[in-house]
């Protein structure tokens, strides 16, 4: 432990001596974050598969198939499928996960990406050190026992948690801690989905609901995402290293410009399904919040209900294994939709998409631990494949294949719900290894982003940097910059000036009859030599013995702060903050003893608010 502390101290001293803006500093930090995020992704993947093969497959006889690019790390037991034991395993897994979260880190419940976004905007980038550990174990249990959830939430919180922890231990600023949190989030996503570029863009884009990037995050997130990706890939068998998550068999292409019309229709359909998804998810979340049972039992109830839906669909389709894609990650159904959608059929694809909404809402909305990105890929991909099959049957000349619609559906669905079109387009391309559909993917994702403006899967997002509490101080500076004191300060002549020789007794009576709070003090030539406040005078009210002895010169502050008409309001705000006063004297720029008026803090804030409303109005009109 002492060695670890010494190493952290050494690193802290090294980073402190580097220039704040230097890439050397962020290279070192990003390297650490990337290594830990990569190791976290490895630990999470091994843990999830260990639970899935050692518990779910052994007890119930069912194991959720991995996508083609993901190796099986353990041997799957050869046991007959017992559907009702699947319900039992899911329920027990949900309770175990809920108990772990309830006892050690309540904030690890639900989908972790939203918690990381919340920490970025409203908590100064702070995440408790135990949260990533609890999130890893709880999510591995949830996913490994068949709960319908994704991997991005847990791994994003693992990377974000370490970035926050490292920044805190090194005594870094809140701004740097937020950057490291976001870099860790991007590193985790880039590693687990084998999409390093998308992971970096995801970290910068997912924070806002408008089309905006957190530019400070991109370079550190890119570095850490690449490192995490390399670390994670080295843990895989050689045949799977650097292989896209869904394998390298996908070679889709666009038939022609006319195919963009069905893709436009697909975008609208995806957002209708998206509205159902978000509405169902948060409604079930609200129901479980009001459920009169112990909190740790709720994930068990949600997981059991989700398993009942999965088993019911399996029976309805006469034991079709792909019907169980509504459970766990569901990547088996998505992989088939990408390769051979016709073998599933429109009816089952629609059933998987709609019931995946329900099982995911029950699993995570009840307090289970997991992500929402993976289920969104399955819902969007199956919806896209179903639409592609329908268009293929109706207009085979325009839509010769349904499978491209599955890939485009994956991207468009999440792009619209998460308000992250750029990173989602890149991520889906990296996950599938298929870049030939960038045009229809971008086209459909843009439609989804525009149509789905009021549908938001991540409630902790803010519209833009201007509305982010993390950047509130930045925008006060930006908005006030260039505005001058001369445009705001009080120039009226009703300000009472006090002669430096005025007796304290006269000052006391003057203050008692006046509503003025600050009093400039001038000498016989009218030069300002000091200032005092009514509060300074009140300190002498109960000491009448010195009323005849003391004069204004004894009460005033001679070393006072002031501003000039040429100062910008940002400088004035810094002066107000320095002394925590409500008014500042304004003096001539050439002669600092020539009093001109008073600048009040409330007038400055009112100016800021007016300017902010003007900027918002201009933005709305654009």
SS (H, E, C) 348-380: HHHHHHHHHHHHHHHHHHCCCECECHHHHHHHH
User: Tokens 């991520």, residue?
Assistant: 427
Q: What is the pLDDT of residue 278?
A: 94
| pLDDT score at 490 | 73
Given the structure tokens 């519209």, which residue do they identify?
A: 463
pLDDT at 286 over 90: yes
d(CA 196, CA 14): 28
Residue whose structure tokens are 């020789």: 501
**Separation between Cα atoms, residue 76 and residue 201, nearest integer Å:** 36
pLDDT of residue 478: 58
**Higher confidence at residue 267 or residue 27?**
267
Separation of alpha carbons 219 and 222, rounded Å: 5
Asked if pLDDT for residue 566 goes beyond 90, the answer is: no
Q: Give 295: exposed, middle or buried? Use CB within 10 Å, 0-12, 13-18, 19+.
A: middle
The residues near 469 (Cβ < 8 Å, ≥ 6 apart) are 121, 122, 462
Q: What is the DSSP letter of 322?
A: G
Beta bridge partners of 528: 522
Task: Name the 3-class secondary structure at 452.
Answer: coil
Better pLDDT: 612 or 565? 565
Residues 167 and 116: their CA atoms lie apart, in Å, by 15
Give the pLDDT of residue 407: 92
Q: Does the predicted model carry a pTM greater than 0.95?
A: no
Mean pLDDT of 65-92: 90
Cα-based distances in Å from 291 to 284, 286, 297, 305, 362 = 10, 9, 10, 14, 13
Q: How many CB atoms lie within 10 A of CB 615?
A: 14
Residue 19 in this model has a pLDDT that exceeds 60? no
Residue 11, pLDDT above cutoff 60: no
CA-closest candidate to residue 262, choices 402, 154, 370: 402
Place of tokens 């290293």: 241
pLDDT (average), residues 247-274:
89
Q: Which residue has the tokens 């919180």?
A: 157
Q: Which pLDDT score, from 0 to 100, does residue 561 have?
A: 82
pLDDT at residue number 352: 96
d(CA 191, CA 226): 8
Mean pLDDT over 579-589 rounds to 83
For 470-488, the pLDDT digits (tens) are 776 555 555 666 678 888 8
Whether 275 shows a pLDDT value over 80: the answer reads yes
Task: Classify each residue of 474-495 as buried b or exposed e, where b means 16 or more C-beta atoms within 10 Å of its C-beta.
Answer: ebbeebbeebbbbebbeeeeeb
Residue 621 has pLDDT above 90, yes or no: no
Which pLDDT band holds residue 247 (cuts at 50, 70, 90)?
Answer: confident
CA distance 159 to 490: 52
Structural contact between residues 180 and 163, judged by C-beta atoms closer than 8 angstroms: yes
Strands 518-522 and 528-533, by their bridges, are antiparallel
**Residue 121 banded pLDDT, cuts 50, 70, 90:** confident
> How is 278-320 classified by DSSP, letter by letter?
HHHHHHHHHHHHH-SS-GGGHHHHHHHHHHHHHHHHHHHTTT-
pLDDT tens-digit series, residues 144-164: 999 999 888 788 888 888 888
Q: Report helix, strand or coil for 498.
A: strand
pLDDT of res. 351: 96
| Average pLDDT of the residues of the chain | 86
Q: Please compute the mean of the pLDDT values over residues 79-94 and round it to a whole number.
A: 93
pLDDT band for position 16 (cuts 50, 70, 90): very low
Overall residue count recorded for the chain in this entry = 622
Provide the pLDDT for residue 213.
84
436 burial via Cβ count (<10 Å: 0-12, 13-18, 19+): middle
d(CA 93, CA 242): 32
How many Å apart are CA 92 and CA 100, to the nearest integer?
12
Q: Which two tokens stand for residue 395?
A: 């207009």
For the chain, list the domains and their CATH numbers: 2-473 (1.10.3080.10), 481-612 (3.10.580.10)
pLDDT reading at 74 higher than 70: yes
Span 167-196, pLDDT tens digits: 888 888 788 888 899 999 999 889 988 889
Is residue 20 predicted with pLDDT exceeding 50? no
**Residue 538 pLDDT more than 90?**
no
Region 415-422: what's the mean pLDDT? Answer: 90
Average pLDDT over residues 434-447: 90
């Amino acid at each position: 432990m002492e060695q670890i502390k010494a190493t952290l101290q050494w690193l802290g001293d090294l980073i402190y001596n580097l220039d704040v803006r230097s890439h050397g500093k962020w290279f070192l930090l990003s390297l650490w974050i990337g290594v830990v995020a990569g190791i976290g992704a490895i630990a999470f993947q091994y843990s999830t598969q260990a639970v899935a093969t050692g518990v779910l497959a052994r007890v119930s006889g069912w194991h959720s198939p991995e996508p083609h690019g993901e190796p099986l790390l353990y041997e799957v037991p050869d046991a007959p499928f017992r559907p009702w034991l699947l319900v039992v395993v899911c329920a027990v897994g949900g309770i175990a996960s809920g108990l772990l979260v309830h006892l050690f880190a309540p904030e690890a419940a639900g989908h972790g990406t939203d918690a990381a976004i919340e920490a970025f905007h409203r908590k100064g980038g702070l995440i408790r050190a135990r949260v990533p550990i609890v999130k890893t174990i709880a999510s591995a249990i949830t996913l490994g026992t068949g709960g319908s959830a994704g991997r991005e939430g847990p791994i994003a919180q693992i990377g974000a948690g370490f970035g926050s922890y490292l920044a805190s231990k090194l005594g870094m600023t809140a701004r740097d801690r937020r950057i490291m949190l976001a870099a860790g989030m991007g590193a985790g996503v880039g590693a687990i989905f084998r999409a390093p570029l998308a992971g970096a863009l995801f970290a910068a884009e997912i924070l806002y609901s408008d089309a905006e990037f957190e530019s400070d995050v991109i370079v550190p997130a890119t570095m850490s995402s690449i490192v995490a990706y390399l670390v994670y890939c080295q843990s895989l068998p050689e045949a799977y290293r650097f292989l896209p998550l869904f394998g390298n068999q996908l070679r889709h292409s666009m038939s022609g410009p006319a195919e963009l019309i069905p893709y436009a229709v697909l975008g609208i359909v995806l957002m209708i399904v998206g509205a159902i998804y978000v509405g169902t998810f948060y409604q079930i979340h609200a129901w479980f919040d009001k459920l009169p049972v112990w909190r740790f039992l709720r994930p068990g109830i949600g997981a059991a209900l989700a398993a009942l839906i999965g088993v019911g669909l399996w029976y309805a389709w006469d034991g079709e294994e792909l019907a169980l894609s509504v459970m766990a990650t569901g990547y088996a159904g998505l992989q088939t939709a990408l390769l051979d959608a016709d073998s599933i059929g429109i009816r089952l694809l629609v059933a998987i998409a709609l019931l995946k909404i329900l099982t995911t809402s029950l699993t995570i909305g009840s307090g289970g631990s997991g992500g929402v990105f993976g289920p969104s890929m399955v819902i969007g991909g199956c919806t896209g494949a179903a639409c592609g099959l329908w268009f293929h049957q109706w207009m085979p000349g325009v839509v010769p294949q349904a499978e491209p619609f599955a890939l485009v559906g994956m991207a468009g669905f999440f792009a619209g719900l998460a308000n992250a079109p750029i990173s989602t387009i890149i991520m889906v391309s990296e996950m599938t290894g298929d870049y030939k559909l960038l045009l229809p993917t971008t086209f459909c994702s843009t439609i989804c982003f525009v149509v789905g403006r009021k549908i938001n899967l991540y409630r902790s997002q803010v519209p833009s940097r201007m509305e982010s509490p993390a950047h509130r101080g930045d925008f006060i500076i930006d908005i006030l910059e260039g505005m001058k004191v001369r445009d705001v300060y009080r120039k009226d002549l009703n300000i009472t000036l006090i002669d430096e020789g005025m007796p304290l007794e006269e000052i006391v009576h003057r203050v008692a009859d006046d509503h003025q709070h600050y009093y400039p003090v001038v000498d016989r030539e009218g030069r300002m030599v000091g200032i005092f406040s009514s509060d300074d005078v009140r300190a002498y009210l109960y000491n009448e013995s010195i009323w005849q002895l003391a004069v204004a010169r004894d009460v005033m502050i001679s070393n006072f702060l002031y501003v000039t008409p040429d100062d910008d309001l940002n400088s004035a705000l810094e002066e107000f903050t320095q002394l925590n006063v409500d008014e500042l004297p304004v003096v001539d720029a050439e002669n600092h003893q020539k009093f001109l008026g008073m600048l009040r803090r409330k007038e400055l804030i009112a100016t800021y608010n007016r300017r902010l409303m003007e900027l918002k109005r201009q933005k709305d009109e654009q």
